[in-house]
Homo-oligomer: A and B are copies of this chain.
Amino acid sequence: MNAQLTALRRHLGEISDLQSIAGLLFWDQQTMMPPAGALNRGDSLGTLARVIHARETDPMLARLLDALEPWAAEQDPDSDDARLIFWTRRDFEKAVRVPEDLAAEMTKAKALGQHAWLEARAANDFKPFRAALAHHVELRHRYVACFTGFDHPYDVLLDDFEPGLTIAELRPLFAELRDALVPLVAAAGNPDQPRNDGAFQGEFDAEAQRVAVLDVLEAVGFDPDSWRLDPTLHPFASGGGIDDIRITTHYEPGDLDSLFATMHEYGHGLYEHQVAAELDRGPLASGVSLGLHESQSRMWENLVGRSLPFWRMFYPRLQEKFAGALGGIDLDAFYRSVNQVQPSLIRIHADEVTYNMHIILRFELEQEIIGGRVALADLPEEWNRRMWDYLGIEVPDDAHGVLQDVHWSGGSMGYFPTYTLGNVMSVQIWERLREDLPELDEQVERGEFAPLREWLGEHLHRHGRKYTPEETLAKVVGGPIETAPYLRYLRDKHGVPAA
């Protein structure tokens, strides 16, 4: 078996190398590339995607898997090798089922859809985007039809982001959340109060923000030997491998959101950075799913980054850097302001409570779109109605409503739910790790983050993509996803008694 296993590892190592390159090119495009380079870049990315796809669907891979599977069946099913073969088979079968012409059509529709979306957004009118969205829906159906063994079309879409998750599991989970969160938002939030409690009034110089962000990052574990921080328009984490982690943020002069965005991306980066070295250069060397990835980003952003112990440590240092704007705001007022619950129009600026309502709305609409139960012409109206029902606010126009997110413009559906799954799992993991780290609050307040990082590395990150998301979560918290810890956390934090 040795020769086949070596050949398999070499082939997968090359795919992994090429994907690292794709990660670097994406980062470069969003941070460094001169604008006119877009045309050259489009060609390069297209060629790289074809090279990767050819390797992912190489018939040699099937022959190697055929030869190795009987051997793998006799190994410890939890061994790295057995898992590598399991996931490689799964990835291969998914990749070969999509005909090349459909893949090419989806790629083309993505570019056209984003173009139509940008125009529609600029015109503040959903109509010019409708045809592109209809085409995406048609292509999604053709994509779904490539697969068998799923109970529901939406399960096929979910599987790309959260392998194994089904709508049958998700519906009751999201219904529980919706029923608990609507009254929680009504009790804790007030759409008419000023944002951030009106705390941030001054100017926050971009360079001073960068220094403040790095001060926080280096304290929590950003090591310039393996990490970079750069500005961009829409923050993300990417990079060239487990020792080349690149996070990005965005500096707005009117607030300090860059701090929280950076903590968020730090959570993503740390997950990738702490995958076990043995899994490097292979398909298991990344976070297991978007949901668990988001559990890490949201944990660092919210459970660490919006906690009182954290700001006991960092607020004096922040105040010093922004003496003008923050001089008159004490720690308690600052803490309240960055934890304010306030229904608002735009998902990416939402607080940790109302955020989930934005997701639930999109999840419900995606099901109706895929199920053909909503006419696309009525989508803006459906959006606006739910915004009123769930958050009590009126949507003034399409740009602040149905057109706000990029996801649908590229044909991506089934992605949104992972954001809320991340929120929910982040608190399950947090409760579990506090059992092992009884002095976590004091450690955070002293700026000691190594115990937290190491716990996450040991219990979650090192596994990479070795287990299913469900198995991975069970290894960390001992059971399946559940909403109770998350709802308890929100109620406690915002002083709302259980209904």
The chain A residues found within 8 Å of chain B, CB to CB, are: 13-14, 17-18, 20-21, 24-25, 28, 32-37, 39-41, 43-44, 46-48, 50-51, 224-228, 239-245, 280-281
Contact = CB atoms under 8 A, between A and B. Distances in A.
A14 B240 contact: no
B37 A241 contact: yes
Contacts of A41: 240-241, 244
Contact of A47 (B14, B34, B242, B243): B14
A239 B41 CA distance: 11
A44 B32 contact: no
A280 B226 CA distance: 35
Nearest to A239: B37
Given A34-B226, A34-B228, A225-B36, A17 B240 contact: no
A48 B18 contact: yes
Contact of A224 (B18, B24, B34): B34
Nearest to A32: B228
A43 B17 contact: yes
A21 B21 contact: yes
Given A18-B47, A25-B24, A40 B242 contact: yes
A48 B240 CA distance: 13
A34 B225 contact: yes
A50 to B, nearest CB: 8
Contacts of A37: 226, 239-241, 243-244
A226 to B, nearest CB: 4
Contact of A35 (B20, B225, B280): B225
Contacts of A25: 21, 24
A441 to B, nearest CB: 32
Contacts of A48: 17-18, 21
A35 B245 CA distance: 11
Given A17-B44, A34-B228, A44-B240, 6 more contacts: A14-B50, A20-B44, A21-B44, A28-B28, A32-B32, A32-B228
Contact of A244 (B17, B33, B46, B281): B33
A280 B225 CA distance: 37
Nearest to A31: B32
Nearest to A14: B47
